[in-house]
A and B are shown apart, each in its own frame.
Chain A
Amino acid sequence: MNRYLHRVPLGVPIMIGVWFLATRGSWSSPLVLPRPELVFGSLLSQLSTQSLWQDTLMTTFRALSGLALSAFLGIPIGLVLGQLAGLYRHVAFVLDFVRSIPSATLFPLFILAFGIGELAKVAVVFYGCFFIVVMAAVYGGRSNSDRNKRIATLRSLRARRSQIFVLVVFPDAMANILGGLRIAASIALVLVVVTEMFLGANDGLGKRIYDFYLAYRIPELYAALLILGVLGYVANRGIEQLEGVYKLRLAGGSR
């Protein structure tokens, strides 16, 4: 019995159960919280249309390109800044200043710079994710006594700097970097949906949700939200797989 309890995610049936009970009485408005059976019905009928898949694909594509770009540039920059404390001191102010500007406030600027096409949306996502990844990589790149012991091993074997980086610094920083990527993935999804709602999109889940909202089609809106939730869940699982590659969970994060 105990083993079963661990295997089955009890949270899902409990959540739906509470939702079901909460929509029975007359005290909850179907405009705020529609009945689950209506939502799941709408979900099923939307899933059979091509436009939902198109929207999901576009949202995923925009979020992933922004996230990938921020990882591609942010990880190396953060690692370098983490290793060179002197350099970090010089750019710390600029970093903190620029990343304090919410990316939503830069919408007009991005539209002026990139138009209302894909580039502006990806740029918003990139801006929101980049600094999170950089900060995570800065912390990952900083030296600590555990890492210095591992580096001493490699130095006694006269390893090249590149070998020390690949074999010690990078895997050691992975725990921090993946933590940052996980937060950035959630932010990417948030930002991409917001840009699709307000930055003139023709497709995407954000556009879909906004259209349903304008038409007061609340069960349909909830169905689209469920898809978004699933996307977020899949993204987190994907990054957890990377943790497995680096044995981070097994090793308890760091030694």
Chain B
Amino acid sequence: MALHFEGVDKWFPSVEGASVQVLKRVNLAAEAGQFWVFRGPNGCGKTTLMNLAAGLDEPSNGIVRLAEERVDQTVVGYLFQDYAGSLLPWLTLGENATLPLKLKGISRAMRRESLVAISEETGLTGLPFDRYPFQCSGGQQQKTCFLRSLLASERFLILDEPFASLDRESCEKVTDMLQRIRLAGSHLVLLVIHDLDDAIFLADRLVCLDGSPATIRDIVPVDLPWPRKAEVRVRSEFLDVRRRVLDSSGELHR
């Protein structure tokens, strides 16, 4: 599962009837098994970029391609930034998490089995799977969405701010699970992470977006070995990446 963006522009119609350009000349070439982390200021077009990669929206110019497949026909495990809005309120957390399996016509008993298996594998146990989303906390909802994206695809994940509502412990569990996925080399994973340390920690490539319309300012390779332990955060390679990112975004010169 390799993902290519070639000269991608994206305009949206504005209220006044004119159009607003959100993305400008975006080029990417992500290989299967890699983790690509995207970072940039609010409203710069990260979520738009994720929606293009998920095939939910089409580029105004340029090409978005997933290996040989059509990008809008490949199932993607997408953890939406607005995770709460992505849950169906008339389904329980368990039914929401296993929705991808239901769509494939997998039996209720098998879905239940997969749900138990994936929550044990991730360590995200104790979620109230028989309750409805409005009865649950934001963190519980976001963890449900994470499980849903894992059950959706074994090749392609898009996680838009996956840590936003999670407590420390859950963040560690999700990070550990992602590291296992990285080691298996099975998934191409796109992530949006604001915290710079967390972003570097989970990145093979760190994409810095900025400007309006947004362009790619820098794609920083992070060549630290996997699995990564907490101590890499003080290694000199890690700090070099940190300096390069802060330098290119101008955050170092304020």
Tell me whether A and B are bound partners.
yes
A residues at B contact (CB < 8 Å):
146, 149-150, 152-159, 163, 167-168, 171, 246-247, 250-252, 254-255
Query: Is B134 a contact partner of A252 (Cβ separation < 8 A)?
Result: yes
Q: Which of B78, B84, B90 contacts A251 (CB 8 A)?
A: B90
Complex interface: chain A residues within 8 A of B80 (CB): 149, 152-153
Shortest distance between the CB of B177 and any CB in chain A (Å): 20
> Which of B73, B86, B90, B100 contacts A246 (CB under 8 A)?
B90
Within 8 Å by CB of B88, from A155, A158, A167, A252, lies: A167
Which residue in A146, A154, A167, A255 is a CB contact (below 8 Å) of B134? A255
Q: CB-CB contacts of B26-64 with A at 8 A, as 1s and 0s?
A: 000000000000000000000000010011100000000
Interface majority SS on A: helix, strand, loop or mixed?
helix
Summed over the interface, the residue pairs from A and B with CB atoms below 8 Å come to a total of 64
A-contact bits for B59-89, CB 8 A (1 contact / 0 none) = 0000000000000111110101010111111
Closest to B86 in A: A153
A155 to chain B, nearest CB (A): 6
Cα distance, A168 to B80, chains bound together (Å): 17
Are the C-beta atoms of B56 and A251 separated by less than 8 Å?
no
Nearest CB in chain B: distance from A201 CB, A: 42
Given the complex, which residues of A lie within 8 Å of B82, measured CB to CB?
149
Q: Is the CB of B75 within 8 A of A157?
A: yes
Question: In the bound complex, what is the Cα–Cα distance between A171 and B95 (angstroms)?
Answer: 15
Would B56 and A155 count as touching, CB distance under 8 A?
yes
Q: Is the CB of B86 within 8 A of A150?
A: yes
CA distance A150 to B56 in the complex (A): 12
CA distance A246 to B88 in the complex (A): 12
Complex Cα distance, B125 from A214, in Å, reads 72
When the two chains form their complex, are residues B134 and A158 in contact, meaning their CB atoms are under 8 A apart?
no
Taking A156-B55, A246-B90 as known contacts, 19 extra A-B pairs with beta carbons closer than 8 A to each other, sorted by chain A number, are A146-B85, A149-B80, A149-B86, A152-B80, A153-B78, A153-B86, A156-B56, A156-B75, A157-B75, A157-B99, A158-B73, A158-B74, A163-B103, A247-B132, A250-B132, A254-B89, A255-B84, A255-B85, A255-B89
